[in-house]
Chain A
Amino acid sequence: MTENNSNISENATNKTFIQVQTSDFDVGEEQQEFSDPSIGAVVAFTGLVREFSEHPEVQALTLEHYPGMTEKSLFAIAEQARQRWPLQQIRIIHRVGRLTVGEQIVYVGVSSAHREAAFEGCRFIMDYLKTDAPFWKQEHTRTGDVWVDAREKDQQARQAWQTDAPAPQDKR
């Protein structure tokens, strides 16, 4: 299965940028992409590979994905966020392949005219990415490789958005 740097997709009309890549990314360069004068707020989340508390002997992990479906599902998540908040640019980068502790793994950047939509849209996208986008982590230990189990709390975070009252529009 391909683990190469690939899958660049950009839609100029709704300004959603999705990329799945093996290489690292630069958060500062990403910030520069938010340049429209109507932008009042940019909220960006960066996920890192943390120490492996469940298996302390783990040295690294490998991220596998489902090429094609990955990009499709990330676009669908971005569109769902746009239906709830007046978002401008959405940029999602997710790395695949082998990663070690401390490395950047995922970036979600969202811009809007006002901060409420940007904060909530960014969090919504991350919560849905955790349960809907086809990525899988495998931890590497001295005694073998272990697939990471899905977490109930990630499902709960996603479900919390479904039970929320309809999202307020901007300009509160």
Chain B
Amino acid sequence: MIRILFFAKIKSDLSKDYFDLKIDTPVNVGAVRNSLISEFPDQKSLFQSEYSLCAVNQSIANDETVINASDEVAFFPPVTGG
């Protein structure tokens, strides 16, 4: 299981701060992304790669980045600060 943190539009559209995804580790970000799309089919666009970023241990990851059981994982939209 991986706890996935959500921020901004992903958090507000799903009304969830996080989601505990049942998936074996180690696993890469691309597989987690596909699992989230399956878990939330009505809001799958939130997790498509052009609309979301994934951070692993608070660093931006790509679809090949490997996630281990103890890692901190977050999905969020492209950023709009400044």
Q: State the A residues within 8 Å of B (CB).
A: 1, 47, 63-66, 68-69, 72-73, 94, 105-106, 126, 129-138, 145, 147-151
Contact = CB atoms under 8 A, between A and B. Distances in A.
Interface stretch (B25-33, B62-70, B74-82): B74-82
A162 to B, nearest CB: 15
Interface of B: 5, 7-9, 12, 17, 55, 58-60, 74, 76-82
Contact of A136 (B9, B17, B74): B9
Nearest to B5: A66
A148 B79 CA distance: 9
Query: Would you call the interface of chain A mostly helix, strand, loop, or mixed?
Result: mixed
Contacts of A72: 58-59
13 contacts: A66-B7, A66-B74, A66-B76, A106-B81, A126-B82, A134-B7, A135-B79, A136-B76, A136-B77, A136-B80, A138-B12, A147-B12, A147-B77
Given A1-B17, A66-B76, A147-B12, A106 B82 contact: yes
A68 B58 contact: yes
Contact of B9 (A63, A131, A132, A147): A147
B81 A149 contact: no
Contacts of A137: 80-81
B42 to A, nearest CB: 18
Contacts of A64: 7-8
